[in-house]
Structure 1
């Protein structure tokens, strides 16, 4: 008996490479196939590709019927199940030789713990993007030469020690990632044959020298990643790569800025972070197309003024160096959107820094800065300001005019107050003022109606002794940190913060929790450790979303310390059991009291006697009344 059926294979989609992985239209055919268990592979059909038995077969499929295949049908159907990993839904079958001829531009076998590449994979000769990353592959088979249409190949995170020569025959290949493989030696002779290669990543590949040959041969190179190697110098031949747009040399052993790079007119991203560079050359002004410059974690003690000639620069990261100041004309980089000067030795900011009107992110953490720019309000696009770990004593009032500000970090400074008009920051969602010297709680903080994250821990600052009831106005608050203070109680108004997911009150002097704590229905994390608490709320189990509870170092009585040490599950179980005991105890007590009253036992004996006397007198009077009535 034969059955006529239809099939269309489905393949994964990949959002990061949309241009190279647009799914080609699948061919659908019909064919009689014996119904055997081996051939009923679990394959899902795409509705838009199904065809009926009486529909004509496409010409390109008919022409392929004469092709001889080395694999039998059952094996190839199993291939589709294991290699393409289609869902376990059987809607039909088709001859395997038609299936492997269907165009599949994208195949993802990444992170599947495979150690050998299946030879059957190479029958899919139309594949353009192939993912084999993060597996245990140690050998690349020569069959790769059959993938003539392959353009993008990911092999990073494997155990590959060398490439087969046939890889050099993939003339359509434009992107290759060999990062994080224990290559015994750099396969220069093979890679140099890939003359149309545009994207090459060799992160953590054990390189001790820059591969010079690729500079001379791979003239179409646009993105070159050589981070996390041991490269100590860049050859002059790098100027041959005039189409290079992105160069990543992070975490190498460079001691000088390669001046040859300054002749690469097309470069837009240059990453030299994590080296030992002591100075940027004046020639850097020639990089007129540069948009992102990363030179953090080097040995820079100064920035040359020539860097301010980079008018296209949008991102400048120089954190973790030895800078004591910034160029006074840094405001000339008018297109700058992000500036990161964290972890340096800067005490004074340039007087015209406020002229960076395109700036959106300003990070200046862990310096010695005493004052923010006086005209900071002109940075109208600023959305993130991180000035933590400095010596700020006050904030300029006009900081309240930064209407786009969403994140403001001022922790570990010397602030004594917060501007009274800070509530004008209508878009602020995060405020951190931990570790400051406030004389009292900055009440103006409670006017920030859009605030979602508030950090008030004072591990390095002057602790708060009281939280005002006005905190209830922060109705959008999701995370509240009040750790390392001197709080004896929490305000009852905290029950109004119904959106709260995290509450941290560790390291205080709390002896009791508000009765209405159970109103915090969305609470997921509650940290109560290192306080003077003895009782947890009886209705703690009403917080249905609670998943993390820290209760260590408290003199617990209910629940007992042993239960608290066992964790949240044990605590909730104890509360449930305790409630049942109290419920049945109340019922028993009510029953016993009723029994004693009815029987006149114990303290209710006198009450029973008085009731009996009353009933006796009433009975005699009623009897006399009846006799008089009869007379």
Structure 2
């Protein structure tokens, strides 16, 4: 059956697949990917990737994601292992398909910088994803992740990570390995808190924590000096969390006030705040088959191995206790911000990973 393909500037008529006809559709003038050789595959009857595609070794951008509701009839259920032939690929957009797994061969795309897998059915990633040493942006939102994918922790060049709209209960302490991370989107999960190790990521400019169960921020959260806590433009969104420590009024005053608040709590903070257990052997097993190797290689040990328990590993959430010497705080109303939904969708589907794009998020239009 004929399948339509198009470049970035307009539609092409339906054509029979072939490497020569596909090559004719390569676009080099898409303003989002300036100077890069891009191919967008689009067709309502598309259920498999044309084999001829893998002869286009010059491709730098491959987009197989629908961009409108009308295009949702084509959804890929499998990515061929031959994807590894596209050695020059820098951007791979596979979001909004029917993928329940991705092949480990993606890890052979040594030049890949952006990988978009949002809006699929993924519950794990292959260990080979950790071999993407040039990867700067990965989009995993709206999938089926219950455990943080360990392979991501090896992608130490990451600047942008979106794993929102999943079922995560825990962010591992080994998140500290992602020292170049600037944007972390974990909203709409089941997080009860964050490990203090997240405070080592001093390049963070944007952290989205909304729609979780977070009552307390880590006591060293004030180290994240690049976060913008202002009311009119906040890169840290906490709405729909039962936040107690610190109160929103303190957060809005910035990192220095957050540090001052926790200093006032003093030693009582250790008893009052959420404390996450060290990543145990069971945690690592849950994160994936390569987790143990991930966390014992390339960098100094990021976790302390605990003693495996007979049952599932659990988190320990310390409920805030009222101390005579500590500030008495009432639970705050969730912070609500006016966010531009269209801008959020564009950001999350991989159209941009530049944190400056967040300036559009509070636009009313």
| Short-chain TM bin | 0.5 to 0.7
Larger relative CO (CA 8 A, sep 6+): 1 or 2? Answer: 2
Largest Rg, 1 or 2 = 1
1:282 aligns with 2:81: yes
Q: What are structure 2's unaligned runs of at least 5 residues?
A: 31-35, 67-73, 229-234, 259-328, 339-363
Match of 1:431 in 2: 236
Match of 1:356 among 155, 170, 190: 155
Partner secondary structure for residue 161 of structure 2? strand
Match of 1:203 among 10, 20, 23: 10
Partner secondary structure for residue 339 of structure 1? strand
Q: Matched residue pairs, number?
A: 245
Partner secondary structure for residue 329 of structure 1? helix
- Superposed CA offset, 1:328-368 (max 9, x none): 23111111000001111111123342221110000011011
Q: What are structure 1's unaligned runs of at least 5 residues?
A: 1-185, 187-198, 227-243, 452-463, 469-480, 485-501, 503-547, 549-631
| Aligned equivalents of 2:257, 2:56: Cα separation in 1 | 46
| Aligned equivalents of 1:222, 1:204: Cα separation in 2 | 12
Post-superposition shift, 1:441? Answer: 4.8
TM normalised by structure 1 equals 0.35
Match of 2:59 in 1: 267
Post-superposition shift, 1:287? Answer: 1.0
Match of 1:368 among 142, 148, 167: 167
| Aligned equivalents of 1:219, 1:276: Cα separation in 2 | 22
Match of 2:27 among 218, 223, 229: 223
Partner secondary structure for residue 375 of structure 1? helix
Partner secondary structure for residue 438 of structure 1? coil
- Superposed CA offset, 1:367-401 (max 9, x none): 11111132212211111000000111110101111
| Aligned equivalents of 2:18, 2:243: Cα separation in 1 | 62
Match of 2:37 in 1: 245
TM normalised by structure 2 equals 0.59
| Aligned equivalents of 2:23, 2:97: Cα separation in 1 | 30
Native 8 Å contact 1:267 1:290 kept in 2: yes
Match of 1:384 in 2: 183
Native 8 Å contact 1:225 1:249 kept in 2: no
| Aligned equivalents of 2:187, 2:107: Cα separation in 1 | 26
Native 8 Å contact 1:389 1:411 kept in 2: yes
| Aligned equivalents of 1:219, 1:287: Cα separation in 2 | 13
* Distance 1:483-1:338 versus aligned 2 partners, 3 A rule: closer
* Distance 1:213-1:313 versus aligned 2 partners, 3 A rule: closer
Partner secondary structure for residue 127 of structure 2? coil
Match of 2:306 in 1: none
1:405 aligns with 2:204: yes
Match of 1:317 in 2: 116
Native 8 Å contact 1:384 1:407 kept in 2: yes
Partner secondary structure for residue 207 of structure 2? strand
Structure 1 outlier segments of 4+, above 4 Å: 199-202, 211-214, 218-222, 464-468
Post-superposition shift, 1:220? Answer: 7.2
